[in-house]
Structure 1
Amino acid sequence: MSRQRLEHYLEQMTLDEKIAQLLQLAAPFYDEVGDEGQITGPMESLGITVETVHNVGSVLGVSGAEKVISVQQSHMKNNKHGIPLLFMADIVHGYKTIFPIPLAMGCSWDIKLAERSAEIAAREAAVSGIHVTFAPMADLVRDPRWGRVMESTGEDPYLNSLFARAMVRGFQGSDLKNDKERVASCVKHFAAYGLAEGGRDYNTVDLSERQLREYYLPAYKAALDEGAELIMTSFNTIDGIPASGNRRLMRDLLRGEWGFEGVTISDWAAIKEMIPHGVAEDEREAALKAIIAGVDIDMMTSSYVHYLAQLVADGIVDEALIDEAVMRVLQLKEKLGLFEEPLRGADVVAEREIIYCEEHRKVAKELALKSCVLLKNNDVLPLNKNQKVAVIGPFALSGDILGNWSWNGSTELTKNLAESMKVISPSNIIIAEGCSIDKITEPQIHEAIKVALKADILVLALGESSEMSGEASSRSNIKLPEAQLQLVQFMKQLDKPMVVVLFNGRPLDLHGVYEEANAVLEAWFPGSEGGVAVAELLYGAANPSGRLSMSFPYAVGQIPVYYNHFNTGRPKPSEDTTEKYVTHYLDIPNAPLLPFGYGLSYTSFTYKDLVLSSNEINETDSLQIKVKITNEGKLSGVETVQLYIRDVSGEVVRPMKELKAFRKVELAPGQSREITFEITEEHLRYYHSDFSFTSDSGRFELFVGPNSRDTMNAAFRLKK
C-alpha cells in the first residue's frame, strides 16, 4: 500500500478518530465481544465510549487465534474506515514454549541460539494472532535488587548489543509483510531503566550524558539499527524528566540524531504517571508533554483521547503532530500487511500443530543446557547413575521454573527436576520437600532428614518463586529466604556431599549456600525444558558451558558491583591489603563473589602462548591476538574465550576492563586450538567529554581469559 493510500485514510478520519488510533487498550476491554461486535469491557474505568473503542488503534494482551480472529472481525465490522487493530503482547522469552529468561540467555553467550529462540517465539505468537512483541529489553543492569534484571542479558553493553540485535532478527526476520510467522519487535525501556535508584522499580534515574551514551544507550541503538519497528518509553526520569515527556530524549536523540522513524509507545499508563512524577499538573498537561515529546501510542490511559482534541482546538498543539503519530501507526499496520490481511497469521488449526511442538521444545532444552552456569564443583559432579540421590527442596517437584514473564506458559506441562532425574536414574531418586519457598516446619525437616540419611548424595533444589523476581519485585535482601538457608544447615549437619541447584531470576547473595555446598549449579528460570536440561547437566549427559553475564555480589552492600568499573586515585592494591586509606570496605572485599564471564566445566582448560602481532598499531592497522587453549581434562567441553581491553590513559577516566570480543570453542580431551582475535582502532573509541566518539594515542592493556578476573595480560600502543 502506497503512502498516498495511507494519507487517504488519514484525510478521511475525524480528529477524534485519529486520536483513538493512538490509544492502546488492554485485553479486559475485549473479554466479551457479542455477535454484533458490542464491547462490554471496562470502558467506564477510562471514561471512554464504545465509539472510541471501535476506533482504537491497538490492543495489549489478547491472544489465541480464535479470540484474536473474533475481536478483529468485530472491530472491522464496527470501524467505518476498515482500519484493523494491532495486537501486541509481552512475548519476552517465549510464547507457549518458554525459553530461559533473558538473563540466563545472556549466560549462554550463544547469539545464534538466542536468535533462534526469538524466531520460535515469534512463530508461536504470530499463529496465535499477535503482531507485536514488547521485546527485547535492552536495559543494561548492574543492581540485582531490581527484579527486572531477569529481562536483561546483563551488565555489559557489548554483549547486550549482540543479543538485542539477535532478538530483533529472530522476531522480525527480513520481510514482515510476507513472512506471517514473524512479529514486529518493540525494544524497551527507553532509556536507562536498569539504573533505578536503590534497585527499586519505577524509581528515579540520574546519570551523566556521557555515561548514558557509553553504557546505557548502545543496546537500544543496536536493536534499532537491526530494524526494530517500535520502541517503548521507560517509567523513569532522565535528567529530571520522565521519559514519556522527555522531548530531548525522544525527539532530539531518538528521532533527530538516530533517525528512528518507527512507532514510539508509552509503557503502561506512563503518560498519566507524569502527574505523580511532578512534571504535569493534570492529564491535559501530561498529554501535551507526551505528544510534544513524540510518544505515538498512549498505553492504557485516556490522556490523549480526552485532551488532545481540545489542545488542538485551543491552538496549543499542532494537528500535524497528531497526524505524524497516526501515520507511523498506519505505516506499521501496512508493513505487517494488515490492510490486506487483518487476520494476519492467526490460524486455529495451525496453532494446535505449532504451539509447544517437539521441535520448539528441543531448542528450548538446548538453550537451557547452555544457559546454566556451574558456580562451584568440588569433585561431586557429574552424578553417577548408581548413586542414591536425595532431591530435597521447594523446587524438587515444582514446575514454577518458567519465570515471571511466561504468561502463556504452563507449569503443569513443565517437567520438574526430580521427575527428570528419575528418567535418567529410575530407581535411585528419593524426594522430600524439605521446606516451602519461605517456610519450614518440623515435619518437613524430619522428612528431609529421613530421606537424606538413605542417600549417597544430596541435591537441594532451592531458589526464588517466579513472583520474587520480575516487574515490581525488587528485594533489599537478595539472599535465599531464611527457611531455605535453614534447610541447608540441617542437611550440612548430615555430613553428606551436597549439591545446590538454584532457580532464580537475579544474581543472589549466596552466603549460607556457596560455602556450605560441595557444588552449586545456577539454573536461573530455565523454561519449559529446564527440568530435563538441569537433570542432564547433573548427570553429565551434557557439560556445563554457561558463563555469567552479570556479577554475583559478595554482599548486598557492594551493589552496584560490576566488572567494567573505574579505578580511583587510591585503588586497593590487593584484597588482602592492610592499608586503610585506599578505596575499600572494612568488612567485605571490593570484588564480587563471582565475576562477569565466570563459569566452570566438568573439564579444565589452560591458556598459554598469548602473542600479539605487534606492540603498536595506528588508525589503519589491525592487531592480531593469538592464544592457545587446551582441554586438559577427560571430557569434551566448550570454553568461552574472552578478550578485554583497558585504555590506560584516556581523556576521561576509562574502565578497568571492557569486553571487546569472545569466541566459543569446543575441544575434545587433550585437544588444543589456537584462537585468533583481531582488534582495530575502532575498538578503542569511546565518548569523550565533548561526546565525540574517538580514540586516544597511548598505551592499552589487553586481557584474555575464561572470565573478567582470571586473565593473561599483554600491552600495545596506539599511535595516531
Structure 2
Amino acid sequence: MIRKFLAGLAVMAGLSPVFSPVAALAQDDVERQIDALLAEMTLEEKIGQLTQYSSFWDATGPAPQGGEQEEKFDQVRDGRVGSMLNVVGRDEVRAVQELAVEDSRLGIPLIFGYDVVHGHKTIFPIPLAEAASWDLDLIEQSARIAAIEAAAQGLNWTFAPMVDISRDPRWGRVMEGAGEDPYLGSRVAVARVNGFQGDDLSADDTIAATIKHLAGYGFSEGGRDYNTVDVGSVTLHNIILPPFKAAIDEANVRTAMNSFNTLNGVPATGDSYLQRDLLKGAWGFDGFIVSDWGSGREMIDHGFAASERDAAELAIEAGSDMDMESYVYRDHLADLVESGDVDIALVDDAVRRVLRVKHELGLFADPYRYVDDPAQEDILMAPAHRAIALEVAKDSIVLLKNEDSLLPLKQGEKIALIGALAADKDTPLGNWRAAGESDTAVSVVEGFEAAGVDFTYREGAAVQVGEAGFPQPVVVNTSDRSGFDAAVAAARKADKVVLVLGEDGLQSGEGRSRSDIGLPGVQQELLEAVHAANPATVLVVMSGRPLILDWADANIPAIVQAWHLGHESGHAIASVVTGAHNPGGKLPMSFPRSVGQIPVYYNYLNTGRPGPLENEVFWSHYNDLPNTPLYPFGHGLSYTGFAYSELEIVQNAGAVTVSVMVENTGEMAGEEVVQLYLRDPVASVARPVRELKGFEKVMLVPGEITQVTFELSGAELGFYDQHGNFTVEYGAFEVYVGGSSMADLGASFTRTGD
C-alpha cells in the first residue's frame, strides 16, 4: 500500500519513485516528495507524525482490548502515531510497523527509538567512563557497535548521546555524559554521533542519534534531578552549549531532545530561544526536536502553562517538534490550529522535519529495512564486539594513586579479594543498559581466575539487600557487618588486599541523585577494618560518579577508579591490577574532597580575592578544607613516568602552533594523554583560570621521546560574551601543557592586530 500510494505521489510530482534508494535521491527531490506527502495529509495525520508513544502491548501477541491501550493501537492503524519507543526486537518492530504501513491510509512508516546509551546487547562502559579513556576512536567504535546491534533488533533511533556538561557529581546522570569540560565533551559528542549515524544514515546498520538535553540539565540545583537551573549567559554559551553545536556542525546529528528543567524561568520544552532562535535559526539545524518524557504536560507543574491546551500551544510555537508520551499535541493541537491560535505552518514545519529524518533513514525506501534479515540478530554479543568492549573498558580505568608502586600485583603474591562488588555480575553493567541482560558481566572474581591470580575471595559486606531492580531505588546495606571478621582474617593472611567497593549499578542514572556521595552503607567501615588488618590494600572503586574518597586518599596506598565498565569489567580490572595493561585513563570530572565543596571544577573564574594569603582570613577559601579538588580534572597515573620539556610557541599568519617534547621515563610502555590548557588573563569578559583546548593520546616505550604539536586558531582563542556573540580578542595568552589540568610547564604569547 505504501509503495503504490507514495509512488503515485512521486509520479504526479514528476519525481523518481519514493522507494528508490535514499542515497540516490537529490536533497531537492526528497524535499519535493515531503511537500507532496504533506499536501495529502489531513491535520490529524500531521499531528500523528508529531506524537510518540511508548510500547503499549506485547506486539507479537493479541491486540489490546478496551481502554487506553486499545485506543493507542487504533491510532497507529489510523496513521495518528509517528514514532514508538521501547519496542525492541525484529518480530515486535515488524508487527507494529505493519500496522502503520499496511493499515493506515498513507502508510507512513514509524521511527523506533530506544535508550541505547552505552551499548545495546553488548554493554560498554558508562559514558563517563568512556570519556575517561580520552580515546575518541574507541568511543566512536563503541557507539558504532551499539548502533549495529540496535539496528539488528529493528531500532533506528537512539536517545543518545547525552551531551550535558555537569559540575555536580551528586546528579545521578553524570554517568551518562562526558564530565565537566566543554571541549572534551564536544569531542566525545562528535565521536558518539558519528558512531551511531555512520557514513550513511540510510544503511540498515546505522541509527539516528539524539543530542540531549537542551539545555542546562546538568546544572540542576543541588544536583537534584529534574530541578531548576539558573546560570548566566556566559556559562550557557561557553560551557553548556558547545557540545550541542559541535554535534550539529561537525556530525550532522539528526535529532535533539529538550530538557526537563527551566532556564531563565522558562521550561526548555517551551523555550523558543533555545529551539527556534538558536538551534533551528542561528545554527541551521534541520533535523527535529523531541520532547523528553512527558515534559510538555510538565510545563503546567512548572507554573508556565495554564492547561494541557496551553502547553501544546507553547511547545509547538517554541519549536518542540515531537511530543514524547505527553499527549498534549494529540489531544489539543488540532483544536489550536482550527481555532487560529496556532499557525498551521508551525505544524507543517515540524512534520516536514520528522519526515525528512525518516527519508534519510531509508524508511520510505523500505519500511522493513531494519527487520528484513533474520540473520541480523546473530551479531548480538559477537566476539568481535566483546573484544572492543574489553579494550574500551581497560582504557577507561583511572589509576588515582599508587604509593610505593603497590601496583601492579606481582607473581607469587597471595591476594585477598574482598567486597560484594567483586563477585557481582550485574553492577558492572551500570544504568541504561539497553537490551543487556542482568547478571551477565564478567565479575572481578572471574577476571582474577582467568588471569591466574592466586587469591582468596571474601564478600565482607553486602552492597544491597532485598529486591531492588529498576526502576526502584537500590536498598543499601547499612547494618549487616556479619562478613567483616572473615574479610579481616583473609586480609591478615594475604600479601596484599584488593578491596572492591562502590555503588551498585542502579545507584546512579536518572532519578538517582545522592546527597551523600561517600561509599554507600557499611563499606567505609569495611575499608577501615581491612586496612587496619593489612595496610598493603588496593582499593578498586566501582561507581557511576566521582565519590568522596578523602579518607581513602589519606590512608590507602593504591586507588583504582573502575567505574561501571560493562560486560568485560572483570577482565579489564584484572588486566590493570596485574600489569597486563598499563592504565592510561584520565579523569573527565574533578573528585571533590567533601560534598560541601561541590561544585568544584578546574575551569573556574578567579575571584577578586583569590589568595592564598598567609595569616589572613579575608580571601576566598574554606577554613576547614583546601579549595582544590582531591583529584583534578585530567588526573590519572601510569605504571611508568612521563616528562614534559621544550615547550615552544610559534605564531604565523594568525595561527598559533604549540609543541612539546614528551618522554617515557619509566620501565614500561604506556599511554599518556597530553593536555593543552589556555588562559586569557585579561578579556572583556572574565575568563577561566584554565581551559582545555587540545589533547592527544600517545603510546611510548621506555626511553622514547616524541614531539606533540597543537594548532590553536580563533576557535580555541575566542569565547562567547554575555550576549552570546563569539569574539576573538587581542592580547596576552598563557599556555600550559602536561598530564592534567594542574600542568605546570607553561609559556605565553601575545596576539596582536599586525
C-alpha separation in 2, matches of 1:586 and 1:40 = 66
Q: Does 1:716 align with 2:749?
A: yes
Supply the AA of the counterpart residue of 1:359: A
Pick from 307, 312, 319 the counterpart of residue 287 of structure 1: 312
What displacement does 1:693 show?
1.5
Q: Does 1:325 align with 2:350?
A: yes
Change beyond 3 A, Cα 1:40–1:454 = farther
Counterpart mapping for 1:596-611 below 5 A: 596-611=633-648
Q: Residue 687 of structure 1 aligns with which residue?
A: 720
Q: Does 1:702 align with 2:726?
A: no
Alpha-carbon deviations, 1:356-414, whole Å to 9, x = none?
Answer: 10001111110111111000111110012311111111211001111111031124321
C-alpha separation in 2, matches of 1:4 and 1:670 = 62
Q: Residue 556 of structure 2 aligns with which residue?
A: 517
Counterpart mapping for 1:366-377 below 5 A: 366-377=391-402
Helix, strand or coil for the counterpart of 2:247?
A: helix
Q: Residue 395 of structure 1 aligns with which residue?
A: 421
Q: Residue 671 of structure 1 aligns with which residue?
A: 704
Q: Residue 556 of structure 1 aligns with which residue?
A: 595
Q: Does 1:635 align with 2:663?
A: no
Helix, strand or coil for the counterpart of 1:194?
A: helix
C-alpha separation in 2, matches of 1:364 and 1:504 = 18
Supply the AA of the counterpart residue of 1:443: S
C-alpha separation in 1, matches of 2:424 and 2:499 = 13
Q: Residue 199 of structure 2 aligns with which residue?
A: 174
Change beyond 3 A, Cα 1:164–1:110 = same
Q: Residue 573 of structure 1 aligns with which residue?
A: 612
Change beyond 3 A, Cα 1:521–1:697 = same
Change beyond 3 A, Cα 1:668–1:123 = same
Q: Residue 336 of structure 2 aligns with which residue?
A: 311
C-alpha separation in 1, matches of 2:429 and 2:73 = 38
Supply the AA of the counterpart residue of 2:610: P
Percentage identity across paired residues of the two chains: 45
Alpha-carbon deviations, 1:581-610, whole Å to 9, x = none?
Answer: 110011111010010100000011111222
TM-score by length of structure 2 reads: 0.91
Q: Residue 32 of structure 2 aligns with which residue?
A: 4
Supply the AA of the counterpart residue of 1:417: V
What displacement does 1:42 show?
6.6
What displacement does 1:447 show?
2.0
Equivalent residues of 1:641, 1:706 under 8 A apart: yes
Pick from 542, 564, 568 the counterpart of residue 581 of structure 2: 542
Helix, strand or coil for the counterpart of 1:96?
A: coil
Q: Residue 16 of structure 1 aligns with which residue?
A: 44
Q: Residue 659 of structure 2 aligns with which residue?
A: 626
Q: Residue 158 of structure 2 aligns with which residue?
A: 133
C-alpha separation in 2, matches of 1:51 and 1:211 = 43
Q: Residue 384 of structure 1 aligns with which residue?
A: 410
Change beyond 3 A, Cα 1:244–1:548 = same
Pick from 217, 240, 265 the counterpart of residue 240 of structure 1: 265
Q: Residue 361 of structure 2 aligns with which residue?
A: 336
Q: Residue 221 of structure 1 aligns with which residue?
A: 245
Change beyond 3 A, Cα 1:41–1:123 = farther
Change beyond 3 A, Cα 1:113–1:594 = same
Helix, strand or coil for the counterpart of 1:7?
A: helix
What displacement does 1:217 show?
0.5
What displacement does 1:468 show?
0.9
Equivalent residues of 1:386, 1:425 under 8 A apart: no
TM-score by length of structure 1 reads: 0.95
Counterpart mapping for 1:8-87 below 5 A: 8-27=36-55, 29-33=56-60, 38-40=63-65, 43=68, 50-51=74-75, 54-55=78-79, 56-87=81-112
C-alpha separation in 2, matches of 1:339 and 1:644 = 47
Alpha-carbon deviations, 1:523-543, whole Å to 9, x = none?
Answer: 111111111111100100000
Supply the AA of the counterpart residue of 2:253: A
C-alpha separation in 2, matches of 1:87 and 1:187 = 16
Greater Cα offset, 623-632 or 233-242? 623-632
What displacement does 1:629 show?
1.5
Equivalent residues of 2:167, 2:600 under 8 A apart: yes
Q: Residue 356 of structure 1 aligns with which residue?
A: 381
Helix, strand or coil for the counterpart of 1:272?
A: helix
Q: Residue 186 of structure 1 aligns with which residue?
A: 210
Q: Residue 195 of structure 1 aligns with which residue?
A: 219
Equivalent residues of 2:51, 2:330 under 8 A apart: yes
What displacement does 1:184 show?
0.6
Helix, strand or coil for the counterpart of 1:277?
A: coil
Q: Residue 453 of structure 1 aligns with which residue?
A: 492
What displacement does 1:53 show?
6.0
What displacement does 1:452 show?
2.1
Q: Residue 22 of structure 2 aligns with which residue?
A: none
C-alpha separation in 1, matches of 2:83 and 2:698 = 45
Equivalent residues of 1:636, 1:667 under 8 A apart: yes
Equivalent residues of 2:60, 2:92 under 8 A apart: no
CA RMSD of aligned residues (A): 1.8
Pick from 486, 502, 510 the counterpart of residue 525 of structure 2: 486
C-alpha separation in 1, matches of 2:67 and 2:431 = 26
Supply the AA of the counterpart residue of 1:23: T
Q: Does 1:444 align with 2:483?
A: yes
C-alpha separation in 1, matches of 2:306 and 2:715 = 47
Helix, strand or coil for the counterpart of 1:276?
A: coil
Change beyond 3 A, Cα 1:412–1:347 = farther
Q: Does 1:409 align with 2:448?
A: no
Change beyond 3 A, Cα 1:282–1:505 = same
C-alpha separation in 1, matches of 2:274 and 2:676 = 33
Equivalent residues of 1:33, 1:74 under 8 A apart: no
Equivalent residues of 2:550, 2:630 under 8 A apart: no
C-alpha separation in 1, matches of 2:509 and 2:713 = 39
Q: Residue 508 of structure 1 aligns with which residue?
A: 547
Supply the AA of the counterpart residue of 1:509: I
Equivalent residues of 2:678, 2:693 under 8 A apart: yes
What displacement does 1:520 show?
0.6
Q: Residue 21 of structure 2 aligns with which residue?
A: none
Equivalent residues of 1:147, 1:474 under 8 A apart: yes
Greater Cα offset, 525-534 or 5-14? 5-14
Q: Residue 459 of structure 2 aligns with which residue?
A: 433
What displacement does 1:181 show?
0.7
C-alpha separation in 1, matches of 2:309 and 2:521 = 48
Change beyond 3 A, Cα 1:32–1:688 = closer
What displacement does 1:348 show?
6.1
Equivalent residues of 1:65, 1:351 under 8 A apart: no
What displacement does 1:40 show?
4.7
Helix, strand or coil for the counterpart of 2:656?
A: strand
Change beyond 3 A, Cα 1:49–1:397 = closer
Counterpart mapping for 1:134-173 below 5 A: 134-173=159-198
Greater Cα offset, 658-667 or 366-375? 658-667
Helix, strand or coil for the counterpart of 2:617?
A: coil
Equivalent residues of 1:385, 1:425 under 8 A apart: no
Q: Does 1:592 align with 2:596?
A: no
Helix, strand or coil for the counterpart of 1:466?
A: coil
Greater Cα offset, 103-112 or 327-336? 327-336
C-alpha separation in 1, matches of 2:397 and 2:37 = 51
What displacement does 1:662 show?
1.2
Change beyond 3 A, Cα 1:682–1:293 = closer
Pick from 443, 447, 453 the counterpart of residue 420 of structure 1: 447
Q: Does 1:655 align with 2:688?
A: yes
Change beyond 3 A, Cα 1:681–1:338 = closer
Supply the AA of the counterpart residue of 1:96: K
Change beyond 3 A, Cα 1:317–1:622 = closer
C-alpha separation in 2, matches of 1:503 and 1:59 = 34
C-alpha separation in 1, matches of 2:662 and 2:713 = 23
C-alpha separation in 1, matches of 2:708 and 2:240 = 30
Change beyond 3 A, Cα 1:15–1:648 = same
Helix, strand or coil for the counterpart of 1:100?
A: coil
Supply the AA of the counterpart residue of 1:405: W
